[in-house]
Amino acid sequence: MIKVGIIGASGYAGAELYRLLLNHKNVEIVAISSQSYAGKMISDLYPSFYGPYDMCLSQDQDVLDKADMIFASLPHGLSEKYAKVCEEQGKKFIDLGADFRLDKESDYQQWYQHDYQYPGLHEKQVYGLSEVNRDLIKKATIIGNPGCYPTSITLGLYPLLKNQMQKDEKIIIDSKSGTTGAGKSLSEDTHFPKCNESFHPYKIASHRHTPEIEQELSKMANQDIQVMFTPHLLPVNRGIISTIYVSLKDDVTFDEVYDIYHKTYQDEYFVRVLPKGKVADLKFVQYSNFCDISLHYDERYHQLIVVSTIDNMVKGAAGQAIQNMNLMCGFNELEGLMMIPASF
């Protein structure tokens, strides 16, 4: 049993983390915090927690004092100071924000307009894509939990790039996300009259997940990979679906690609490569930690089309964070994550 705390439990990802951890047999949730709602019950914000699942939101320091495993679900620029305290106290730290995702401070400065407060911490960070970095995660004390878009994209491309079956270094990615991906704070785009019965791209060629995507894909391919990434906002609560276009090498067949995907993920419980002819659908991963991948082939252009879908709040945030915790603590990797997606 490990004592767990959540800093930033009032946001969507933090509340989802709390919900999932309640079902984990190896953890005791000892404290949850919120700077804006300290002193309130979490059921005041999310009525589904009323009764036996309720807990008071406290100050951040309460989490640091009581927990041995700390999750931070905060906007970028706020997590480093908590990671520093955890390092000094020998506690494990998982950041669901962006502060520990990028290898280069220059990328963080360019895309997030912040400097590293504690550069030494970043030498210890591990990118928490569980299926790819499992061995590193097991030894880590600081995890940068991947972004939701990058999770769907990197898992969707990993087998192809690892085996260098793509023709060139340029990849086109078209992704769509539910509105929870924008966080709890209301904006013009997520205001109900604007997003309801609407569907539109945003931050075209300028989304902050772009350097994270290119960084991790380049590691997988062992060469520089460039992406043309366009995110869209769907009028649904949760889910991400990424459609990825990649030119194949001339001597690579679709059957070979399909076989490589199956071999790569055959022992990965949370990645499901669908049968040929099936199409991944975000509806059938919602509330689960699954990533569904379907593969399609355009004969005219010898091009692979990958469709990869996840629940942005689970595999794209809280679920993957728990999967990483399980690896760090030596628990069963599936513990607390055995949710079956709804069928309708």
Biggest CA pair distance of the chain: 63
Given the structure tokens 């307009």, which residue do they identify? 113
Paired tokens of 264: 């790569």
Range 277-314 burial, b when 16+ CB lie within 10 A, else e:
eeebbbebbbbbbbbbbbbbbeeeeebbebbbbbbbbb
The catalytic residue among 148, 195, 291, 329 is 148
Sheet holding 240-247, edge to edge: 200-201, 226-233, 170-177, 240-247, 303-310, 291-298, 271-273
Burial 83-118 (b: 16+ CB within 10 A, else e): bbbbbeeebbbbbbbbbbbbbeeebbeebbeeeeee
The single-letter code of the amino acid at 169 is: E
Q: How far apart are CA 152 and CA 261, in angstroms?
A: 15
- In the chain, which ranges are E strands? 2-7, 27-33, 57-58, 69-72, 92-95, 125-127, 142-144, 170-177, 200-201, 226-233, 240-247, 271-273, 291-298, 303-310
Q: How far is CA 313 from the centre of its chain?
A: 8
195 tagged catalytic: no
Amino acid letter at 120?
G
Q: Give the Å distances, CA to CA, from 134 to 16, 139, 330.
A: 23, 9, 11
Catalytic residues: 148
